[in-house]
Amino acid sequence: MNLGLKDKIIIVTGGAKGIGEGIVKVLAAEGAIPVIVGRSEDDNLKTVAAIETSGGRAYQVVAELTQPEASEKAVKEVLDQFGRIDGLVNNAGVNDGVGLEQGNYNDFMASLHKNVVHYYLMAHHALPALKASKGAIVNITSKVADTGQGGTSGYAAANGGRNALTREWAVELLKYGIRVNAIVVAECWTPLYESWIKTLANPEEKLAEITAKIPLENRMTTAEEIANTAVFLLSERSSHTTGQLLYVDGGYVHLDRALANA
């Protein structure tokens, strides 16, 4: 399917690895020009090079998004380079384990800056360009906001905020024709997830235990599956979809877990 994204300029925060990288690669395959905004220039350039080797186009901006001023600078650099922004994917963040019992004020606030403050700031600074292009926003969020996890208050609060902002922005931006949607991720296989699994005493057993609870095919969601939905939401093929939280999770959050072993 031609999604009509050729030459569209789409910012993807945290686009060098994991889910963000998956989104960037699918965008490039659709003829868009994804712009990676991330803290590591080496990682950013590695992904850009892989896309260009495959015949696509991409760009990168180095930004430490935990610093409030970085979002404005990143957006300005994209506009200086391309003169437009057609879409924004807020994706960067990390489940940093700032809990209620073990955390403190500084840790909690730092977690919010890592995981939701830059979602607001990127959208705020990109908004004039998105108004001009009638662009779209996709927020990547986590099932932790729905299910809880334990020991991760900062990340849970941030994802609740991401979901709420998705609905709030969808309302506020209706008059500009800007659509805002979110993809809620549950158990998705990424390098970061793999690194976490390897820290456990019995990683293979733990992984098997997790996948057994995923109703559809008893397997992890792939970054490409998240990416395919994200890119669809950025395109005019989803022209009447806004304010939605889409669960690309193999039924993990909403289906009866008993189905996984049926």
Helix (H) or strand (E) holding 9: strand 9-13
DSSP 19: H
Give one DSSP letter per residue of 162-194, joined into a string: HHHHHHHHHHHTGGGT-EEEEEEE-SEE-HHHH
> Is 179 in contact with 170 (CB distance < 8 Å)?
yes
Question: Buried (b) or exposed (e) across 143-164, using 16+ Cβ within 10 A?
Answer: bbbbeeeeebbbbbbbbbbbbe
DSSP 49: H
> Is 180 in contact with 170 (CB distance < 8 Å)?
yes
Pick the catalytic residue from 59, 119, 155, 193. 155
Does the active-site annotation cover 247?
Answer: no
Which of 9, 117, 138 is CA-nearest to residue 65? 117
Which of 82, 20, 52 is CA-nearest to residue 224? 20
Backbone angles phi, psi at 138, to 5 degrees: -125, 125
What are the structure tokens assigned to 42, written together?
């080496």
C-alpha 128/C-alpha 137 separation (Å) is 13
C-alpha 78/C-alpha 81 separation (Å) is 5
Residue numbers annotated as active site? 155
